[in-house]
Structure 1
């Protein structure tokens, strides 16, 4: 009975997925894909060029750029606060637990920003560059294309505390993750769909070690982790040391944006606890994992809706914020 209820709830949620959610922007404006058509017509072309170059040089960069957009939006909204370095007045989000020693791609964004500033000075925000780079990273690795709503402006501050508190951790419980998504105006469909970003990228040994050796404090591995898969992971992720060793989030097709992430969850081969709980801890999310595992087209279609919705979280528009000249620091007036 619980499963059928979950399925009905799922259907109603899926039908309520606005294509362009621009209700919670700040500053009176709204985002739309044509924002730079006249003021900087080559902006998207420049972003794409740099992303293609960066991913050709380092295939991991696609996942890193997508992750930056996510880690930006969940802290104070999609305002490029994640890009700010520490200064006399700013404690950088780069030092937070979710970002320290793992957030990367900042130099790629720097390169894009410098080229765009040369083409059309003081016009394109760092926040919009992040949103475009995330889209291009998905497309480049085989995922769906979407028109990115544009017109965000950049924040004049960062929130180290927000970065530590708002971004779900790799060992978070299902309800904790869902609550953090709901606080951003995202629902359970958005949660499962956007988790599908883990179809590309890597995680460090330190992020899933407890699943291999001591999931519940009883010295035993996570019972929801496939035993042969766990044995393979233990070979390169010992009880101590090797913290930075990298493992594919989707070992089947690690650099291809597809639905194998969801197929892995069905086989109890999700790398992170925060991945596997989508299949083991909630009826609605379990049904959605199954749907995406069997239907990549459905996953792609919903992914574009959910990431557009995420990209609209508390966006600064109009006269709010600023257009940073350098993405790493606020403008000097």
Structure 2
């Protein structure tokens, strides 16, 4: 078993015991995690929180000193608040249930800020956007010109890797097992949500109707136009480059939208959707509508996983849209 999986499972178990207020069991679990890797910041910090609840303030101080060495970038955000709490408790402050709830809520929010990047600085947003646009070039220039869908696929993969690097360059690295569990939990919540299932189905039906109506009215489209290699590439883009949707959502809905929403949410919706539309090197209204729906889903369900799923479904639905376009073209010729 990989070490990160073992530590991740122990951390998951320890946090669960902590939340259930079984601090003695939680301390034993965190001890096991530290025995595997004593340099793990998360294990040290959770152990310090657990010992605080058990009243071992000297042990907490030793762990916080270690946390200072392991995570100097999060001293003010995570270490200092717990140090202040310990100082208050040593001065006679009572560890009441109200104080526990207040501290745990603040600490959990701070940990979330350290593990998940929500706000980008302007230079980061611009840098990631330029990288994304440079990596999109092969899809719109090289691949169609030379009939090389492989160039597009590798461009998407490279874009995904680089954008994920920017996105996951957080204050603290989250254990990969815990990140997997977080994504799994978010997806399970969305899968159980009837409104999200209805949104996804309605969104795909709406996309199909849009393409059918657009191509039924388009005089340039013919059935023969879908028999060349370029359109075979389009099918491959939908099937093989669909996974580029998650990093694209991180760029447009997470980075750009959150940055602009600090000034005005409504202007941010329109602005990001226009940027998203033009970033695909085509003024296609469908891309504008896709962006609006993804922003709405992001705000409605309070997780970036929601627009990722919608965008991925839309990309994988592209071959179906091509089939719908062929049917609309054939119907128009009959009429």
Q: Smaller-chain TM-score range?
A: under 0.3
Name which one, 1 or 2, has greater alpha-carbon Rg: 2
TM-score by length of 1: 0.24
Structure with more helix by fraction: 2
